[in-house]
Amino acid sequence: MTWIKDIHFVLLMLITVAAACLISVVCGHFLLPVLKKLKIGQTERDDGPQSHLSKTGTPTMGGIMILAGILVACLIFSVQKREFLYVAILTTLCYGAVGFWDDYIKVVKRRSLGLKAMQKIVLQLLFAFAIALYCYLSPRIGSELYVPFIKRYVDFKLFYIPLVMFVIIATTNSVNLTDGLDGLASSVSIVVMIMMAIVTQILTAKCLNPDTAMNMRNMIVFSSCVAGACAGFLYYNHYPAKVFMGDTGSMALGGAFVIVAILTKTVLIIPFLGLMFMVSSVSDIIQVASYKLRNKKRVFLMAPLHHHFEKKGYSEVSITIGYVIVTVIMAVVTWLII
């Protein structure tokens, strides 16, 4: 009967992805004219790639259509036992709200920098602590995490809370940093979230508790919805982009990715599956550290890494394709270690 379950999983994922994609596309059809009318446009930094200056004025905050695709499709396809689903949606909305506030300041004050760094980190820390504490106290989640290479669950006890908080903040900001080229963050997120749905299905098949299994099934639905919503957004965001997701979308996508990993206890696969997100973050940290500690010497022509490749002469499309190919390879690696 295993093959029947596999077919059911594939059909569920395909239908959910397609529905979320369609909803996102339809939402974009109505949202884009509104964003243009309100003149909610991108403000490019003067110190960024010169080719990006032509993008100034392109509608931003398109992450709203991603959120619409996720929420509506989840409402349609989710099943009973929605504890995990509610936590996933709330986390996505919370981090999306931080991004929305940041975008709003940029648009209203017409500046490339929105919220102050301290404001951002305080909000992120508060949300991260609330999520980690809830998961730690929840009898259906707890402090165990799946350790891939030994293929068993390990109880991290109280260390679970700071570990999960660190992973949440690192992941959301890494996805945010990756959103620097047309179609980059959305393309990589499609691959990542489809793989998260597959990982969840693998773990659900081993789950003996029926209530937990139903909750896990909703994580398959949620992951598929995120992938589909990103695909719908990519219809408008592929090069040359008609709209940008803004921090509204990138922070929400980071929250969606990390919360699925937390709820399915697969936090430790993030460095593998989310490798290209992590590369963006690490390259930025290396650049800043080098600039401050080595008398203003830079490691990269520009950080994050995708901008370095731009400076080297690679097109946005070729860089995006490269990131997607690496992510597909890491998705296969993730499948093997799970």
Residue-wise pLDDT tens digits, 146-157: 998 888 899 999
DSSP-derived letter for residue 1 is -
Q: What are phi and psi of 154, to 5 degrees?
A: -125, 135
Q: Is the pLDDT of residue 85 over 90?
A: yes
For residue 189, which of 312, 201, 197, 291 has the smallest C-alpha distance?
Answer: 197
Residue-wise pLDDT tens digits, 212-250: 888 999 999 999 999 999 999 999 999 999 999 999 999
Q: How confident is the model at residue 52 (pLDDT cuts 50, 70, 90)?
A: low
Q: Is the pLDDT of residue 55 over 80?
A: no
Contact 254, 262 (CB under 8 A): no
> Which element (helix H / strand E) includes 187?
helix 184-204
Q: How confident is the model at residue 44 (pLDDT cuts 50, 70, 90)?
A: low
Contact 284, 177 (CB under 8 A): yes
CA angle 276, 188, 332 (to 5 degrees): 75
Q: Is the pLDDT of residue 186 over 70?
A: yes
pLDDT mean over 74-94: 94
For residue 27, which of 243, 257, 204, 320 has the smallest C-alpha distance?
Answer: 243
The residues spanned by each domain of the chain are 2-268
DSSP-derived letter for residue 161 is H
pLDDT mean over 28-57: 75
144-147 and 152-155 strand pairing:
antiparallel
pLDDT for res 212? 84
What mean pLDDT value characterizes the chain?
91
Q: Is the pLDDT of residue 47 over 70?
A: no
Residue 48, phi-psi category: left (phi > 0), alpha (psi -120 to 50), beta (remainder): beta
Q: How confident is the model at residue 40 (pLDDT cuts 50, 70, 90)?
A: confident
Q: Does the CA dihedral 243-247-274-86 come out positive or negative?
A: negative
Asked if the bond preceding 49 is cis, omega within 30° of 0, the reply is no
Q: Is the pLDDT of residue 261 over 70?
A: yes
pLDDT for res 211? 84
Q: What is the C-alpha separation between 123 and 118, in angstroms, rounded?
A: 9
